[in-house]
């Protein structure tokens, strides 16, 4: 019954983030490789190759090996010029070589006999097919990212242009826990796999959210169109250096500064001038205004050596919606029901005031209460990247991304102001060292943090929302009241179930590149430490459920539930994910490359810092098991071979 006491009931929430795929070392750049021969197809073993980034003039010089083969791994995606020279031969240059993120380009050069000072420029149209990779990989370049019209300017939505990529229906974004507890980002299915099986990478670091889904902000989008150089969508046949995924890989790289100063300022405005009314709207459509604005700039700190690029984007949105609720009619509140009069219990009378009177059509015992409500959103996003070349052998880059947003809105009955809050951060630092033309190493450290709180009660609009005299127990404000046939009363302050995530991912990678004959080999290791601090509240101030309006008026609930006092406590989930791999791109012939690889990717069993995990070992176990181990580790045998050819 509705009265101020605690009814014993237990509710214990322990949310486990389950990562089906594991992690292994991964790098952000691409690779240019090829052979240098003379015009008779004989190997030139003493040739020198120079690979120059057109925008920054950063150059990588290397010598071909005894087989005339060269390979330059982990190059920053962009436009390159590749040239080769050798005593007794003319220099041959191939400009206009475009390298995409994670891509592999073959540039074979044939040197004619002649004076070294003579230069031959070769012009050729690049193929859309990578002739050295058996993976299915689609790149989206900077022009496409920035120039195509995008609703909300979410660059990840361009992945839908690729075959095999589709969206998955999900709860609409609103100030509630129905979307936030599954992740704020958009849900993409790649190759028919679950959205939680994809791996989203920024500058070589995983940025999946706390649900292992796609990253997203308070609006469900990923801002930063101006800060993305390009990204690729790898849909299947991923090589062994990609891990942490059973689905697809979205691999993005941020823009770098160049030797030329460049900048932009932008503003995008969307409003309701051309919006149509829906069936429940009043005479005019609710107001809507979204303003996205920002600026980006980049250039050299020191020409040919140090470059910087930064981007800021802000969103200010006011979205009007028409909320249609079903509430008791005025006669019903006095017990005058269509099926016959009932006596209203005096204990119920104060709670009838929580339901507003109808302001629309009345049918039987109920009427329509329409609330034109406005939700406001504020979001700020920025990214900064710095690149520095210490020498021809050493390069360093660092990236920092920050995204903070909140959406506020009144509840269905306009009693309290609630909000959804989100904040994302990512930091990356990577260094590449060239030990010799045949051996290089890249070390990367990264950090990703996601905070989400939904919904968060901010303040009372109607004083009844904070009135402790109406609470069900313990001096709390009123809880939830569900009456069949009526819109659920969403309770007072702090009554709605809140999901609170503080997710940290610490990542370390080391990748080595070795050229031996016509073999381009990669091998590496990594570790990711996950800290996921969670708090899940379901009906923290209690919930009454009534089977009908008559049972509500006569104070005859069918169900009451509430947490045991003090039982709702945070959970500190911990997990470590390890990775090691080896792959060999073996160029058997000029038109045939084998892609061979092996990956090993075990993970630790998730644990809780205070041992607050419970599991039933078997269906016939007399008591549950408290604490670790949560389950047997099934990942110790995760050996995954990869074989392909192009």
* Residues constituting the chain: 646
Q: Is 584 exposed, middle or buried (0-12, 13-18, 19+ CB in 10 A)?
A: middle
The C-alpha angle 233, 239, 242, rounded to 5 degrees, equals 70
| CA 3 to each of CA 20, 333, 579: distance values in angstroms, whole numbers, following the listed order | 46, 19, 57
| pLDDT of the residue at 25 | 40
The mean per-residue pLDDT over the stretch 382-389 comes to: 96
- Bond preceding residue 268 cis, omega within 30 of 0: no
| Residue pair 524/511 in contact by the 8 Å Cβ criterion | yes
Cβ count within 10 A of residue 333: 19
Percent of the chain with pLDDT over 70: 91
Whether the pLDDT of residue 295 is over 90: the answer is yes
State the Cα torsion 124-126-132-138 to the nearest 10°. Answer: 170
| pLDDT of the residue at 273 | 78
Q: What is the DSSP code (8-state) at residue 263?
A: E
| Residue pair 160/190 in contact by the 8 Å Cβ criterion | no
| pLDDT of the residue at 127 | 52
The mean per-residue pLDDT over the stretch 443-449 comes to: 96
Query: How many contiguous H segments (helices) and E segments (strands) does the chain have?
Result: 5, 35
Sign, CA torsion 443/304/251/155: positive
Q: How confident is the model over 170-194, as pLDDT tens digits?
A: 666 555 566 666 778 888 898 888 8
Whether the pLDDT of residue 21 is over 80: the answer is no
Q: How confident is the model over 456-476, as pLDDT tens digits?
A: 888 999 888 898 999 998 788
Percentages helix, strand, coil for the chain (3-state, rounded to 5) are 5, 50, 45
| pLDDT of the residue at 2 | 52
| pLDDT of the residue at 540 | 86
Q: Which residues contact 235 (CB under 8 A, 6 or more apart)?
A: 136, 137, 138, 162, 163, 164, 165, 190, 191, 248
Look at residues 380, 423, 217 and name the one whose alpha carbon lies nearest to residue 291.
Answer: 380
Helix (H) or strand (E) run with residue 180 in it? helix 177-180
The mean per-residue pLDDT over the stretch 276-291 comes to: 78
Q: How far apart are CA 5 and CA 565, in angstroms?
A: 12
| pLDDT of the residue at 305 | 93
| pLDDT of the residue at 423 | 94
DSSP letters along 55-71, please?
TT--EEEEE--TTSEEE
The C-alpha angle 37, 38, 43, rounded to 5 degrees, equals 40
- Bond preceding residue 375 cis, omega within 30 of 0: no
Whether the pLDDT of residue 28 is over 70: the answer is no
At 644, list the tokens: 């392909």
| CA 612 to each of CA 18, 75, 504, 574: distance values in angstroms, whole numbers, following the listed order | 17, 46, 19, 12
Q: Mean pLDDT check: name the lowest of 169-178, 205-214, 364-373, 374-383.
A: 169-178
Helix (H) or strand (E) run with residue 146 in it? helix 142-147
Name the H helices within 202-347.
330-333
């Amino acid at each position: 019954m509705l009265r101020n006491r605690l009814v014993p009931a237990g509710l214990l929430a322990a949310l486990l983030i389950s990562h089906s795929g594991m992690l292994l070392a991964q790098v952000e750049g691409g690779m240019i490789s090829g052979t240098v021969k003379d015009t008779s197809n004989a190997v030139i073993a003493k040739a020198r190759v120079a690979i120059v980034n057109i925008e920054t003039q950063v150059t990588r010089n290397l010598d071909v090996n005894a087989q005339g083969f060269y390979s330059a791994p982990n190059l920053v995606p962009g436009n390159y010029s590749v040239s080769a020279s050798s005593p007794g031969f003319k220099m041959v240059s191939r400009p206009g070589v475009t390298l995409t993120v994670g891509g592999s380009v073959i540039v074979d050069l044939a040197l004619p006999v002649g004076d070294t000072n003579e230069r031959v420029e070769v012009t050729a149209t690049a193929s859309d097919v990578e002739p050295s990779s058996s993976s299915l990989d689609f790149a989206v370049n900077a022009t496409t990212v920035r120039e195509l019209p995008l609703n909300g300017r979410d660059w990840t939505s361009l992945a839908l242009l690729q075959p095999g990529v589709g969206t998955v229906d999900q709860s609409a974004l609103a100030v509630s826990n129905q979307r936030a507890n599954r992740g704020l980002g958009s849900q993409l299915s790649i190759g028919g796999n679950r959205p939680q099986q994809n791996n989203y990478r920024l500058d070589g670091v995983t940025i999946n959210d706390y649900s292992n889904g796609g990253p997203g902000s308070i609006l469900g989008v990923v801002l930063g169109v101006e800060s993305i150089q390009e990204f690729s969508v790898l849909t299947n046949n991923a090589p062994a250096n990609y891990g942490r995924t059973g689905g697809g890989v979205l691999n993005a790289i941020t823009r770098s500064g160049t030797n030329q100063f460049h900048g932009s300022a932008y503003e995008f405005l969307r409003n309701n001038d051309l919006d149509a009314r829906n069936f429940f709207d009043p005479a005019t459509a609710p107001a809507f205004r979204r303003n996205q604005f920002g600026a980006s700039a980049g250039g050299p700190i020191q020409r040919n050596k140090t470059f910087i690029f930064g981007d800021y984007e802000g969103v200010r949105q006011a979205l009007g919606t028409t909320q249609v609720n079903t509430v008791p009619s005025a006669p019903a509140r006095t017990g005058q029901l269509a099926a016959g009069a009932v006596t209203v219990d005096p204990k119920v009378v104060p709670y009838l005031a929580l339901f507003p009177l109808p302001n629309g059509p009345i049918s039987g015992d109920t009427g329509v209460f329409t609330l034109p409500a406005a939700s406001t959103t504020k979001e700020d996003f920025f990214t900064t990247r710095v690149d520095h070349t210490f020498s021809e052998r050493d390069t360093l880059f660092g990236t920092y991304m920050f995204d903070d947003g909140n959406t506020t809105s009144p509840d269905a009955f306009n009693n309290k102001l609630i909000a959804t809050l989100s904040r994302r951060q990512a930091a990356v630092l990577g260094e590449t060292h060239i030990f010799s033309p045949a051996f290089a190493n890249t070390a990367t450290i990264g950090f990703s943090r996601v905070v989400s709180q939904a919904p968060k009660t901010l303040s009372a609009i109607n004083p009844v929302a904070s009135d402790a005299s109406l609470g069900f127990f313990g001096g709390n404000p009123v809880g939830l009241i569900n009456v069949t046939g009526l819109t659920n009363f969403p309770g007072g302050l702090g009554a709605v179930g809140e999901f609170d995530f503080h997710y940290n991912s610490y990542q370390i990678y080391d990748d080595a590149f070795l050229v031996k004959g016509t073999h381009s080999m990669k091998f590496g290791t990594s570790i990711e430490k996950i800290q996921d601090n969670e708090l899940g509240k379901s009906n923290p101030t209690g919930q009454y459920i009534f089977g009908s309006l008559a049972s509500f008026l006569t104070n005859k609930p069918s169900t009451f539930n509430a947490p045991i006092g003090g039982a709702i406590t945070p959970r500190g989930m911990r997990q470590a994910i390890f990775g090691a791999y080896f792959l060999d791109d073996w160029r058997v012939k000029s038109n045939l490359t084998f892609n061979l690889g092996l990956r090993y990717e075990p993970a630790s069993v998730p644990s809780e810092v205070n041992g607050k995990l419970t599991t039933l070992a078997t269906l016939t176990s007399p008591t549950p098991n408290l604490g670790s181990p949560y389950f047997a580790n099934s990942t110790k045998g995760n050996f995954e071979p990869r074989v392909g050819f192009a």
